[in-house]
Amino acid sequence: MLSAKPGPIGIFDSGYGGLTILHGIRQLLPEYDYLYLGDNARAPYGSRSFDVVYEFTRQAVQRLFEMGCHLVVLGCNTASAKALRTIQQNDLPQWDSERRVLGIIRPTAEVIGSLTKSRHVGVLATEGTIKSESYNLEIQKLHPDIVVSGVACPFWVPLVEYNEADSPGADYFVKKRIDQIMRLDPQIDCLILGCTHYPLLMPKILKYLPDGVRVVPQGEYVADSLKDYFRRNTAIEQKCSKGRTVRYLTTENPDKFKEQAQIFLHEPVEVENITLGYLV
């Protein structure tokens, strides 16, 4: 039986990148309680099939609901691309039709129309997110006149997680993908960072991006969107507890999570271990 009492806002990611989403939300909405869950033992999700990503994400959302969350944000582009719709349509009605699961692709798609002047937009993301074409579909649903081009950046996540984002070696991989997407469409004037790890590569990205191209990280736009969502959905907002606390859960080694979290949050965190299901 799921609790009816107010509970924390759940933030789920396959690993550490969702910490940039959590940070952005906490900056704007610090008064709420948060429960972050990283499925680090089964990360990365980027190259996994739709069915596997859906099952893993479903397990995580169900656990966060069981731990008192009424609202869960999928702070992971791959989970948002491959699992969100199925969970919303198939699982929520069975679990509790008054609970909510939100993704992070639509908020970016909504705002991009007001940011691009050329109406040509680029997306840099994981292989799974690019193959899903979720950004293309969401953006063109809202802004049919915008041309969207995407490029997968398979080495960018390891660069961040191995704390190599500032290293000289990172320049080669960042420049290669920036050059690739600008060759694909030289009219691009906005570049969406469609993976939550990528903001940590921002200095390198800005270094190699042509003048006049705007970078669009997700954290601030997801936070703005959530604030607006609460304004429009007061019943859900009232079910989110306000105590300014944050708990961190990982399916991997808590000590490893603490070390990695420092890279993303620049502050020490306490972490608990949790088990979600089978490993594949």
In Å, how far are 45, 57, 138, 236 from 227, measured between CA atoms? 28, 24, 20, 12
Question: Which H/E stretch holds residue 109?
Answer: helix 105-112
Catalytic residue among 69, 153, 190, 195: 195
- The answer for residues whose C-beta is within 8 angstroms of residue 137's C-beta and 6 or more apart is none
Q: How many degrees, rounded to 5, is the angle at CA 69 between CA 67 and CA 74?
A: 110
Q: Output phi, psi for 147, to 5 deg.
A: -95, 125
What gap in Å lies between CA 193 and CA 199, rounded to an integer?
7
From the list 51, 78, 37, the residue with the least C-alpha distance to 194 is: 78
What crossing angle do the helices spanning 254-265 and 18-28 adopt, rounded to 10°?
A: 60
From CA 244, how far away is CA 138, in angstroms rounded? Answer: 33
* Closest among 174, 83, 88 to 129, alpha carbons compared: 83
Q: Catalytic one among 76, 153, 190, 240? A: 76
Q: How far apart are the first and last CA of the chain?
A: 29
Assess whether 240 carries a catalytic annotation: no
Are 46 and 127 in contact by the 8 Å Cβ rule? The answer is yes
- CA-to-CA distance for 111 and 142, rounded, in angstroms? 10
Instruction: Tell me the CA distances in angstroms from 144 to 139, 150, 194, 276, 278, one per residue in order.
Output: 7, 16, 19, 40, 41
Whether residue 153 lies in the annotated active site: no
State the catalytic residues: 76, 195
